[in-house]
Amino acid sequence: MKKYKGYLIDLDGTMYKGTEKIEAASDFVKALAEKQIPYLFVTNNSSRTPEQVAEKLTEFDIPTTKDHIFTTSQATANFISGKKSNASVYVIGEEGIRDSIVEKGLQINDMNPEFVVIGIDREITYEKLSIACLAVRQGATFISTNGDIAIPTERGLLPGNGALTSVITVSTGVQPIFIGKPESIIMEQALKVVGTSLEDTLMVGDNYDTDIMAGMNTGLDTLLVHTGVTTVEMLQSIERKPTYTVGSLEEWIEKM
Q: Which of the stretches 6-14, 104-112, 169-177, 224-232 binds its own copies when contact is defined by CB under 8 A?
A: 169-177
- Of residues 132-161, which lie at the interface with its own copies (CB under 8 A)? 133-134, 137, 149-150, 155-160
Is 2 annotated among the ligand-binding residues? no
> Is 168 a residue that touches its own copies (CB under 8 A)?
yes
For its own copies, the closer CB: 170 or 234: 170
**CA dihedral (109, 111, 112, 116) positive or negative:** positive
Phi, psi at 20, each rounded to 5°: -100, 145
> Is 124 a residue that touches its own copies (CB under 8 A)?
yes
To the nearest 10 degrees (0 to 180), the angle between helices 72-83 and 95-103 is 40
Q: Is 61 a catalytic residue?
A: no
| DSSP-assigned states of every residue in 102-170 | HHTTPEE-SSS-SEEEE---TT--HHHHHHHHHHHHTTPEEEES----EEEETTEEEE-HHHHHHHHHH
> Is 174 a residue that touches its own copies (CB under 8 A)?
no
Q: How many whole angstroms separate alpha carbon 86 and alpha carbon 94?
A: 20
> Is 91 a residue that touches its own copies (CB under 8 A)?
no
Number of residues that bind its own copies (CB under 8 A): 30
Is 10 annotated among the ligand-binding residues? yes
Residue 100 is given by DSSP the state H
Q: Is 12 a catalytic residue?
A: yes
| Contact with its own copies (CB under 8 A) among 19, 20, 123, 239 | 123
Chain center to CA of 72: 5
Looking only at the bridges linking them, the beta strands covering 156-159 and 150-153 are: antiparallel
Q: How many whole angstroms separate alpha carbon 93 and alpha carbon 161?
A: 9
| Min separation Cβ 162 and its own copies, Å | 6
| Min separation Cβ 153 and its own copies, Å | 9
> Is 42 a residue that touches its own copies (CB under 8 A)?
no
Q: How many whole angstroms separate alpha carbon 211 and alpha carbon 197?
A: 18
Catalytic member of 12, 99, 148, 221: 12
- Site for its own copies, rule CB under 8 A: 121-126, 129-130, 133-134, 137, 149-150, 155-160, 162-164, 166-173
* Residues with catalytic function: 10, 12
Binding residues for substrate: 181
